[in-house]
Structure 1
Amino acid sequence: MDAPTLNVPAPRTNTEHVAARSEGSLCPITSSSTKRYDDKTLVDAFVMKISAGAFTMSKEPEPTYLGPLWFAHVHPEGQLYFSREGPLRVVTEAYLYSPQTFETVCRWIERIECLLSDVKVIISGDIELFVELEGQNCAYYLVDHTTCAQFWLEDSDTDKLGLPTVASTSQLKIVLEELYWIHVEHFPMHSLRISNEKLEEITAIFSHGLCDQMTSRVSTFPYTAEDCKVFVKILQGCRENMNNGHTTWIIARLWSLINSNRCLTFYGEEHARLSRNQSILWDPKPKHPWISTLMNYLTFNTSDVHRARLEDVFVDHMVYADRWAQLVGKSLKQWRASASGAFIGLMLHLPFLVLNSPCPPLLVVSTALFGSALGSSVLLDHAYEAMEGLSAADAMNYLESIQSPVYRFQFTGLAFSLPKALLLWGYLILLADYLLLVAKYQGLGMVVGMAVLCFFIVLVLASTVRAPWCRQNISGMQMV
């Protein structure tokens, strides 16, 4: 959604000369919607002459100068940006070494400073402005380093700014704090210094996450115990280097991620999400449940297991990367096992090349079932092998794309269950083939005895999963 446009009203007399020199409109944006990672400009590299003694102390190149109070910085990722000190601090990624760009940015800053006065925002050293040129227009936002929040010069709403819906003012504050830390993450190399209190707090948060992940299978913390151990060690190493921009970047990145997770879990709200399998948002139930019942009978309940696992990893349309990796990993393992079982089943048809089958059509059916099980296993394995390492956001987008608004994951669960279901049907038909073969050569009595033995084995196996608790929790047990 395009950002709303701020058409600046006719300014008061003290700003008339500024407005006359400016063209275009101010557009409020957020720190997560800048074009920082969307720049498609190509680099023009060329052969350059290297003079004798270049870059020695006596022959250093003449530096490029900026205006008063302006400084150039390089982000740890390599992005060049510029900052201005003064009553209103300013940062921008516009290339200010270009005189025309520098003049344009300065005019927009002048204009915004006048607007700050018009809306009665007190300018202090804790307020920082970001500007981004967009053709004739200028995108902007401001942050307050004291309150750790992002703000704008006009009334707006979360939809216009491309932000998620919220349940309260306190949750909105978390969203704006996340945007603040993203800003600090993007501009960590100038005069900002994060307090020791913020470092200790984020260290404690990851220590809590480590303990929570180690003692709970349904923790809502977004990182695994192994990841938390690494993060805690990194944060502890930051204590002796708080004046370094790289340290600022580390702390800001982790704070933005924590605030993002807090927004998703409704941290501090009346109804917070306390476990991963807890749904606190309304979601319609799948229609036509009889379809799921029919699928369960046809697939020996395997389609319902896969459906439950998909819904468990997608509660309230949220995805945790480690749970997604577990889901895909276990599915791949099952499909590969089904492929091996199907190959063995096809090999078990070899005796029928020597011994004539009493019922050739039945033999054709079992062969087709094993071939289908093998083929579907290979296709699913090929399609999902690359998806095991998807990020949480990519996995969420994928599940959004395959979830039906009517049937949810009923048919996806059926597709996931096909290799095993076809394999089981293939072995049942193959068993019937062998029983008929035994009846042909050994008589009906032998067949009855074998049938009774098979029935007894099936009965014993079925009793192990007959308990209601087991039926209700088998899908969840496979996910942890």
Structure 2
Amino acid sequence: MTSSLDLLKELRPVTSTTTRRYGKFLWVDAYHTTTAPGLRLRTSTKSNWLSFTHPEGQLYFHMKRDRFSVVTEENVSNVETDNLVSGYLALIEKRILECGIILPQACELFVELRFDESPQTSTCAYYFVDHHSRCLFWLEPTSSELFGMGMVVSDSHLDTALERLYWVHVEFFPMHVCAQMTPLILDNLISVICHGMTDRMTSRSSTFPYTEEKCDQLLRALSLRRGEPLDGHTLCFVARLWGAINNQRFITYYGQENAQLDRLQPPMPEDIVDRTGIRALANLMLWGVPNHHYSKLHDLFVHDNVYIDHWQAFMTECISEWRGLLVWAFSVLIASILISMLPRASLSSAMAPILAASSSILSGSILLLRHHGFEDATASFAANFLRSSKSSDWGFLPLSVVYSMPKAMYLWSIGLMVAQLVFWTFRVVGVFWASGGAGFLALMGYGILHFTSLEDDHTDSLATMLRSHWQTFQSDSVAVTEPLTV
């Protein structure tokens, strides 16, 4: 029979964010049983492991050894699992002695078993944490690229990334370590969030990850535990917030020579692909609508990062617009059909507005189905979506065109329906009255654009003024509502 030590293959360095914690199978083996009469006594077995339950409900185990302590989510109550974990712990201790590594005093090891397709082989995912310096480390050279940390610019920048991973570890294993944590981490967190809330209230381009409303809610929750000893539940959400803040600090190069102080000014040159000619043609054909979405998408996606409140505002605006256009485009569709049924009307003249209105309805419906729930998405989901949607050859132009289709085709359906009506008028009352009606509609449209425009420039040519007023109309009619700032 093969022993557990025969299954040992290798150690695999991981981070606190690349474990299988949220990727496990959720199947449970439920059964009925019978209890004996009288009070049921809980049975306990002698073990070096202590069990704890995370506030979310996950069971984990902790054990102190001579050189370090160990935490794992493996079920070491199972004898085979315990033997396998013990074998890996012995291998790790042997590796430490061979490499001559001196471990810090407040050192903790995380281990997780990884089984290959064949159940006869396994690996051990691991990382060490130092509670004093608040960082992760390993027994071998590791690459920040392999761990998905992102590119670093200095050693202190790497320390920020490692501290973020440390807080994620504390968030996942808070129950046994809360007694040795200083209450200052709560007080310092309150100070950081207070500053972030004020920064968001006084700046439209603050880099702090939470809105002022969210900061106010967080401060209310944190203040309830201020002055109280840290327990596991409090430490769990305090560590989660510290992890989020350190992640934002890493992204914005906090504490570095060229820190990002404004979210609209990325500290590194962006690889922007701008097909100027194609974009101009797309805007000409689609009434200038893609230009708005193109600039908004670039503002949202700053250096592989998404500020979630701006994403939610943008998605809410888009979804609301698409829903409204379904109703208006359907009205144009019905109106075009009714006009085609008038005496002396031509059915062929109705095909163009009907096709445009149908295109608006179809594209709007598909976009609504595809983006259901996007206004409530997380920042990581939004960043992944934009990253995958950004073409290496065309940038955000394809996505901008797709987002513009419902409104642009609706505007085309309006124009074609008016042309259909003018054509019908021409056949009924003659060229003179039809031309007069068309001229009146054109002057009325320009007058509305002119008097509702914020610009006051009457020296340009008529074509330039029309284009300028139309661009103003576009930017004003679909502007995304920003959070209220001073």
The TM-score with structure 1 as length reference comes to 0.86
Q: Is this contact kept in 2: 1:308–1:475, CA < 8 A? A: no
Closer/same/farther in 2, CA of residues 472 and 127 from structure 1, 3 Å limit: farther
Displacement of 1:162 in angstroms is 3.8
Q: Is this contact kept in 1: 2:344–2:428, CA < 8 A? A: no
Displacement of 1:195 in angstroms is 1.3
Name the Cα RMSD after superposition: 2.7
Pairs within 5 Å for 1:33-432: 33-40=18-25, 42-55=27-40, 60-67=41-48, 70-85=49-64, 87=66, 88-134=68-114, 135-192=121-178, 193-349=180-336, 350-357=338-345, 360-432=347-419
- Amino acid aligned to 1:90: V
Closer/same/farther in 2, CA of residues 356 and 74 from structure 1, 3 Å limit: same
Q: Is this contact kept in 2: 1:26–1:140, CA < 8 A? A: yes
- Amino acid aligned to 2:356: L
Q: Is this contact kept in 2: 1:438–1:447, CA < 8 A? A: yes
**Equivalent-residue separation in structure 1 for 2:378 and 2:266 (angstroms):** 21
Displacement of 1:300 in angstroms is 0.9
**Equivalent-residue separation in structure 1 for 2:320 and 2:8 (angstroms):** 61
Closer/same/farther in 2, CA of residues 472 and 430 from structure 1, 3 Å limit: closer
Match of 1:17 in 2: none
Match of 1:30 in 2: 15
- Amino acid aligned to 1:37: Y
Match of 2:460 in 1: none
Name which of structure 1's ranges 147-156 and 442-451 shifts more when overlaid on structure 2.
442-451
Q: Is this contact kept in 1: 2:183–2:230, CA < 8 A? A: no
Q: Is this contact kept in 2: 1:309–1:479, CA < 8 A? A: no
Closer/same/farther in 2, CA of residues 476 and 345 from structure 1, 3 Å limit: closer
Identity of aligned residues (%): 31
Displacement of 1:433 in angstroms is 2.4
Match of 2:465 in 1: none
Partner of 1:388, secondary structure, is helix
Q: Deviations over 1:148-173 (max 9, x none)?
A: 11111222221243432212111100
- Amino acid aligned to 1:155: P
- Amino acid aligned to 2:25: K
Q: Is this contact kept in 2: 1:86–1:125, CA < 8 A? A: no
Q: Is this contact kept in 1: 2:13–2:138, CA < 8 A? A: yes
**Equivalent-residue separation in structure 1 for 2:478 and 2:356 (angstroms):** 29
Q: Is this contact kept in 2: 1:222–1:320, CA < 8 A? A: yes
**Equivalent-residue separation in structure 2 for 1:472 and 1:331 (angstroms):** 14
Displacement of 1:103 in angstroms is 3.6
**Equivalent-residue separation in structure 2 for 1:133 and 1:160 (angstroms):** 19
Displacement of 1:288 in angstroms is 3.2
Q: Is this contact kept in 1: 2:11–2:126, CA < 8 A? A: yes
Q: Deviations over 1:272-311 (max 9, x none)?
A: 2223322333333325321110111111101111222222
**Equivalent-residue separation in structure 1 for 2:225 and 2:175 (angstroms):** 15
**Equivalent-residue separation in structure 2 for 1:54 and 1:450 (angstroms):** 93
Gaps in structure 2 of 5+ consecutive residues: 115-120, 455-467
Closer/same/farther in 2, CA of residues 450 and 23 from structure 1, 3 Å limit: closer
Name which of structure 1's ranges 184-193 and 132-141 shifts more when overlaid on structure 2.
132-141
Name which of structure 1's ranges 462-471 and 259-268 shifts more when overlaid on structure 2.
462-471
Q: Is this contact kept in 1: 2:107–2:128, CA < 8 A? A: yes
Gaps in structure 1 of 5+ consecutive residues: 1-19
Partner of 1:348, secondary structure, is helix
Q: Is this contact kept in 2: 1:403–1:409, CA < 8 A? A: yes
**Equivalent-residue separation in structure 2 for 1:380 and 1:468 (angstroms):** 25
Partner of 1:405, secondary structure, is coil
Q: Deviations over 1:84-136 (max 9, x none)?
A: 23542222222222334334433433443344345444445411122223354
Q: Is this contact kept in 2: 1:66–1:96, CA < 8 A? A: no
The TM-score with structure 2 as length reference comes to 0.85
**Equivalent-residue separation in structure 1 for 2:78 and 2:319 (angstroms):** 54
**Equivalent-residue separation in structure 1 for 2:354 and 2:26 (angstroms):** 57
